Amino acid sequence: MAYLKKSPWIIHYDASSCNGCDIEVLACLTPMYDVERFGIINTGNPKHADIFVITGSINEQNVEVVKNIYHQMPEPKAVVAVGICATSAGVFQECYNIKGGIDKVIPVDVYVPGCAARPESIIDGIVKALGILEKKKEEHKKKEEEAKRSTTPA
């Protein structure tokens, strides 16, 4: 059944952003946009989260942090890169401390452009990620079954 779609919990991480996109992500939780009506909860815990919403670009110091959060999330999971810095590092591309967009470190499923990204487009991006989550669930199931088949003798 498609319960993943009905209750996506997000974890939100601010890589090196100016905080603009960050504030827009939090704006989604306010009464104005109220993403909880879709069952979306902002958890602070990667182990409870289904969708990793990340703003800002990757710099040399947060590489490990981003990887760590991503690997702590249980399958199936999706990553949404919010804002132009997260998608491609934007105007900071040439900076000495910037590695680039989020996809330089972890696989990104949805790119939400904008500087700062509007709450409407962030919600749109998260809803898009829900479809991807469903697909990933199927893939994950297949993988698990294959792993089972290979370990149990025929």
Partner 1 sequence: MMNALYALVYMILAPFIGGLIAGIDRKITARMQGRVGPPILQPFYDVLKLFEKEKVVVTRSQNFYVLCYAVFMVFTGALFFSGGDILLVVFALTLSHIFLILGAYAANSPYSYIGAERELIQVMAFEPMIIIATIGMYMVTKLAIPKGSFYVSDIASMTIPLIAFLPGIFIGLVYVFTIKLRKSPFDLSTSHHAHQEIVQGVTTEFSGSTLGRIEIAHWYETVLLLGFVYLFFSWSPVIGIIAVLLTYLLEIFIDNNYPRVKWQMMMKSSWLIALVLGMVNLGLLYYVKGV
- Residues near partner 1 (CB under 8 A) are 1, 3-4, 6-7, 9, 31, 34, 36-39, 41-45, 47-48, 50, 72, 74-76, 137, 140
CB nearer to partner 1: give 104 or 137.
Answer: 137
Type of residue at 17 = S
Mark out the alpha helices in 12-151 (DSSP H runs): 20-27, 63-72, 84-88, 119-151
Residue 52 CB, shortest distance to partner 1, in Å, is: 14
* Nearer residue to partner 1 within complex by CB, 68 or 97: 68
Q: Quick one: 72 or 121, whose CB is closer to partner 1? A: 72
For the bound state, the minimum distance from the C-beta of residue 82 to partner 1, rounded and expressed in Å, comes to 19
Label each residue of 113-132 as H, E or C. Answer: CCCCCCHHHHHHHHHHHHHH
Alpha carbon distance 18, 4 (integer Å): 32
